[in-house]
């Protein structure tokens, strides 16, 4: 059984010509096309093609921010990991020699700048603060006695860039603690 489909009308199971006779064959110049339900390809009219275009547009409006959001999330995790590694080195160096603050700050800055995804979207400087174990700012770490607890808090601004979504900048903060190991 064949079904006749017009590109202007709904499917007609039993088509007839202008005289009311049942059509049995298709002339080559006809605007009707034969559709076999077993075939995988179907000729679609303009409305259906436009509908498919609209559907793909809606899907892309959802998928593009999801894909780029995932990339930006992984960039943020890479920046946090780089800041964490740099602060770990800094705390180890400063706990042995508290006068190494300047060198350690450069190491942290270089570690963050050279993370896996680069420094695009980051603030140019890493902000470092030395605090005691109660989060009170300490002055010079070289004045702390042997066995004193200290922490270093590092933060850097990060601006995620996701197409179609306006996102505000965030601050990534990491805190590492150590013990002064110098002996006078």
pLDDT in tens, the chain (184 residues): 555 555 555 555 556 666 666 655 555 444 555 555 555 445 555 566 678 888 899 999 999 999 999 999 999 999 999 999 999 999 999 999 988 899 999 999 999 999 878 777 888 899 999 998 788 888 788 888 888 899 999 999 999 888 888 889 999 999 999 998 876 5
Residue that has been written with the tokens 């705390």 in this structure: 91
What does the alpha-carbon distance between residue 162 and residue 20 come to, in Å, rounded to a whole number? 62
User: Which strand (E) or helix (H) includes residue 155?
Assistant: strand 149-158
What does the alpha-carbon distance between residue 139 and residue 129 come to, in Å, rounded to a whole number? 10
Q: Evaluate if pTM is beyond 0.85.
A: no
Q: How far is CA 29 from the centre of its chain?
A: 54
**Would you state the pLDDT for residue 122?**
84
Residue that has been written with the tokens 């964490």 in this structure: 84
What does the alpha-carbon distance between residue 178 and residue 147 come to, in Å, rounded to a whole number? 9
- CB of 138 within 8 A of CB of 151? no
What does the alpha-carbon distance between residue 105 and residue 87 come to, in Å, rounded to a whole number? 9
Residue that has been written with the tokens 């805190």 in this structure: 175
- CB of 87 within 8 A of CB of 174? yes
């Amino acid at each position: 059984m064949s079904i006749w489909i017009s590109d202007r009308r709904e499917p007609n199971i039993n088509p007839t010509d202008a005289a009311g006779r049942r059509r049995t064959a298709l002339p080559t110049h006809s605007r009707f096309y034969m559709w076999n339900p077993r075939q995988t390809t179907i000729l679609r009219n303009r409305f259906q093609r436009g509908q498919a275009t609209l559907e793909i547009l809606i899907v892309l409006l959802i998928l593009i921010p999801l894909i780029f959001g995932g990339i930006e999330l992984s960039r943020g995790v890479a920046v946090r990991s780089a800041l964490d590694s740099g602060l770990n080195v800094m705390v180890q160096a400063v706990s042995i020699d508290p006068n190494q603050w300047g060198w350690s700050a450069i190491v942290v800055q270089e570690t963050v700048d050279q993370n896996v995804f680069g420094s695009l979207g980051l603030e140019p400087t890493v902000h470092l603060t030395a605090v005691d174990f109660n989060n009170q700012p300490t002055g010079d770490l070289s004045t702390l006695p042997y066995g004193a607890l200290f922490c270093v808090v590092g933060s850097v601004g990060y601006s995620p860039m996701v197409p179609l979504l306006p996102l505000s900048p965030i601050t990534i903060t990491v805190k590492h603690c150590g013990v002064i190991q110098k002996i006078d």
